[in-house]
Structure 1
Amino acid sequence: LFKFICWQRRDEMESLQEERDAKIKAAADGGGGGSYRSVVVELPLGDAAATFNLEKAVCSHGLFMMAPNHWDPLTKTLQRPLRLDSDDASVSSPFVRICHPFESPHSLQIRVFGTDSLSPQHQNSLLVQVRRMLRLSLSEEMNVREFQKICGEAKERGFGRVFRSPTLFEDMVKCILLCNCQWSRTLSMAMALCELQLELQCRSYGASVSEADNSINSRSSIAETLDFVPKTPAGKESKKKLGVHKSSTNLVSRFLETKVEVEADADVRIDCVEMSECLQGTGKLNTTFPSSTKEKDFYEQCNSCQTSSKIYKAEPCSLSDIQTAEGIELYPYNKIGNFPSPRELASLDEKFLAKRCNLGYRASRILKLAQSVVEGRIQLRQLEEACSEPNLNNYNKLAEQLKEIDGFGPITCANVLMCMGFYHVIPTDSETIRHLNQVHSRNSTIQTVQRHVEAIYGKYAPFQFLAYWLEVWHFYEEWFGKLSEMPQSDYKLITASNMRPRMSGKSKRTRRSGKSKRTKIS
Structure 2
Amino acid sequence: MEEFDLQLCLDGSSSTFNLEKVVCNHGFFMMAPNQWIPSTKTLRRPLRLADLSSSVEEQVTRMLRLLERDEHNVNEFHKVHPEAKDKGFGRVFRSPSLFEDVVKSILLCNCQWKRTLEMAQALCALQLELSTRGSKGKKRRREKDGALPIPAETEGKEVDLGNFPSPKELANLEADYLQTECNLGYRSKYIVKLAREIEEGKRKIDEYEGVQDAASCRILIQRISGVGPFVRASILMCLGFYDEVPWDSETIKLLKHVHARERCTKKTIKRDLKEIYDKYAPFQCLAYWLDLLEFYERKFGKLSELSHTMYHTVASSTQIRESNHPPAI
Normalization by structure 1: what TM-score? 0.57
Asked if the contact 2:21/2:88 (under 8 Å) is kept, the reply is yes
The offset of 1:495, in angstroms, is 2.5
Partner of 1:306: none
Partner of 2:327: none
Aligned-residue sequence identity (percent) comes to 50
Q: Give the number of the structure whose alpha-carbon radius of gyration is greater.
A: 1
- Post-superposition Cα deviations, 1:61-94, rounded to whole Å, max 9, x if no partner, equal 0010000000110111110000012xxxxxxxxx
Gaps of 5+ in 1: 1-35, 86-120, 210-217, 223-263, 270-331, 499-522
Asked if the contact 2:122/2:150 (under 8 Å) is kept, the reply is no
How many residue pairs match? The answer is 308
Partner SS for 2:201: coil
CA distance in 1, matches of 2:232, 2:150: 39
Partner of 1:221: 152
Q: Which amino acid aligns with 1:333?
A: V
The offset of 1:473, in angstroms, is 0.3
Query: Whose strand fraction is larger, Structure 1's or Structure 2's?
Result: 1
- Post-superposition Cα deviations, 1:226-277, rounded to whole Å, max 9, x if no partner, equal xxxxxxxxxxxxxxxxxxxxxxxxxxxxxxxxxxxxxx435xx5xxxxxxxx
Partner of 1:149: 79
- Post-superposition Cα deviations, 1:340-359, rounded to whole Å, max 9, x if no partner, equal 00010012121110011010
Match of 1:133 among 51, 63, 73: 63
Partner of 2:155: 265
- Post-superposition Cα deviations, 1:358-410, rounded to whole Å, max 9, x if no partner, equal 10111011111101111111102211111xx3xxxx22222122212211111
The offset of 1:437, in angstroms, is 1.1
C-alpha change, 1:196 and 1:52, in structure 2 (3 Å) is: same
Say whether 1:363 aligns with 2:184.
no
Partner SS for 1:78: strand
Say whether 1:48 aligns with 2:27.
no
The offset of 1:149, in angstroms, is 2.2
Partner of 2:146: none
Asked if the contact 2:125/2:151 (under 8 Å) is kept, the reply is no
Partner of 2:300: 480
Partner SS for 1:426: coil
CA distance in 2, matches of 1:446, 1:425: 16
Partner of 2:46: 81
Q: Which amino acid aligns with 1:221?
A: A
- Post-superposition Cα deviations, 1:119-168, rounded to whole Å, max 9, x if no partner, equal xx421110000000000011111111121222122112110000000000
- Post-superposition Cα deviations, 1:3-58, rounded to whole Å, max 9, x if no partner, equal xxxxxxxxxxxxxxxxxxxxxxxxxxxxxxxxx97421111110101110000000
Q: Which amino acid aligns with 1:78?
A: L
Partner of 1:15: none
Deviates more, 1:70-79 or 1:435-444: 435-444
CA distance in 1, matches of 2:112, 2:267: 23
Asked if the contact 2:37/2:43 (under 8 Å) is kept, the reply is yes
CA distance in 2, matches of 1:350, 1:382: 26
Partner SS for 1:52: coil
Say whether 1:344 aligns with 2:169.
yes
CA distance in 2, matches of 1:60, 1:339: 20
Gaps of 5+ in 2: 141-148, 319-329
Q: Which amino acid aligns with 2:159?
A: Y
C-alpha change, 1:219 and 1:457, in structure 2 (3 Å) is: closer
Partner of 2:32: 67
C-alpha change, 1:126 and 1:147, in structure 2 (3 Å) is: same
Q: For 1:152-231, list aligned pairs within 5 A.
A: 152-204=82-134, 221-222=152-153
Partner of 1:412: 231
Match of 1:399 among 208, 213, 218: 218
CA distance in 1, matches of 2:33, 2:227: 23
CA distance in 1, matches of 2:225, 2:78: 37
Measured on the aligned residues, the alpha-carbon RMSD in Å equals 2.1
- Post-superposition Cα deviations, 1:261-307, rounded to whole Å, max 9, x if no partner, equal xxx435xx5xxxxxxxxxxxxxxxxxxxxxxxxxxxxxxxxxxxxxx
Q: Which amino acid aligns with 2:251?
A: T
Q: Which amino acid aligns with 1:446?
A: K
C-alpha change, 1:379 and 1:411, in structure 2 (3 Å) is: same
C-alpha change, 1:484 and 1:346, in structure 2 (3 Å) is: same
- Post-superposition Cα deviations, 1:303-362, rounded to whole Å, max 9, x if no partner, equal xxxxxxxxxxxxxxxxxxxxxxxxxxxxx212x110000010012121110011010111
